[in-house]
Amino acid sequence: MKTLFSLFLLALTPALSAQDKPAYRIFNSEGKPVTYADMIKSASGADVVFFGELHDDPIAHWLELEVSKSLFDQKKGNIVLGAEMFETDNQLLLDEYLKGVYDAARFEAEAKLWNNYKTDYKPLVEFARANGIPFIATNVPRRYANVVNRKGFEGLDSLSAEAKKYIAPLPLLYDPELKGYKDMLKMEGMGGPMQAHATANLPKAQALKDATMAHFILKNRDNDKIFVHFNGSYHSSNFEGIVWYLLKANPSLKILTIETVRQKDTSEPGKANLKIASFIIVIPETMTRTY
């Protein structure tokens, strides 16, 4: 009887497995499956950790918070958070809110926040506020990126000394041959036919964002703390973008990148997604979007 029951369970196991629907799977850069604990252990040894998100993916946003909590625990509170979603000229507002100078309603009314702030980024800010963690606004004010998109880097020369405090030091180092910048003008919604206002300067505007984020990460980095940065995956994919600028400034930095991708088949990263990051989080393409 026991043998028959065991055989029944064995026969049933494949059927049960077929119904398993994980919300995400984690792989290393070579495409080998790893655990969340493996990823955190590796991340805890880095100087800077990049979490490259899909802006509208709830799993990515949930994992950003979980990774922050895990590294906070692993490093006994010695972390700094930073994000593309906050522009450098809002740092004072962010600092004042984190210190409890005013309430959330006042902060949210005055800061330049993304439309999905309350659902996707507020949990990170509130975690930082509750635990006394510095949170750095790293992205260039969008008006200056727009100047570059219209006029090229030369447009920045006319900015005041005060304005230049909010961007990377000029002149900017720029390599137009980097794959990410070359690909931008070919992509719909990133300079292709879907984005009529974009110009051939669009990769330069992207480079200004990347360089500025790298500059403010370096400026606010503490040797005894891990700097955890959240950004759209395009800013750190293939170890380019912000990562490229960081390593140009400090080649000795230990950098770990995490990237989220959507696929129909989550059993392994697709060929195009191999080696794009230290860790690749594969999410079902049918996952709910936040907007």
268: alpha, beta or left? (left if phi > 0; alpha if psi -120 to 50): beta
Domain extent for 52? 22-141+209-284
pLDDT of residue 198: 59
In tens, the pLDDT along 212-222 reads 999 999 999 99
Query: What average pLDDT does this structure show over 200-228?
Result: 97
Query: What average pLDDT does this structure show over 243-248?
Result: 98
The answer as to whether 105 is a domain residue is yes
Whether residue 137 contacts residue 86, with contact meaning beta carbons closer than 8 Å, is answered with yes
Whether residue 26 contacts residue 279, with contact meaning beta carbons closer than 8 Å, is answered with yes
Q: How sure is the predictor about 58, in pLDDT bands with cuts at 50, 70 and 90?
A: very high
Q: What is the pTM of this model?
A: 0.90
Please, which residues have CB within 8 angstroms of residue 138's CB and are 6 or more apart in sequence?
82, 83, 84, 86, 88, 212, 213, 216, 217, 229
pLDDT of residue 199: 73
CATH label of the domain that carries residue 66: 3.40.50.11550
Q: What is the DSSP string of 56-76?
A: T-HHHHHHHHHHHHHHHHHTT
The answer as to whether 107 is a domain residue is yes
Residue 234 has pLDDT above 70, yes or no: yes
Percentage of residues of the chain with pLDDT beyond 70: 90
The answer as to whether 32 is a domain residue is yes
Report the domain count for the chain: 1
For residue 77, what is the DSSP state?
A: T
The answer as to whether 227 is a domain residue is yes
In tens, the pLDDT along 93-118 reads 999 999 999 999 999 999 999 999 99
Whether residue 76 contacts residue 255, with contact meaning beta carbons closer than 8 Å, is answered with no
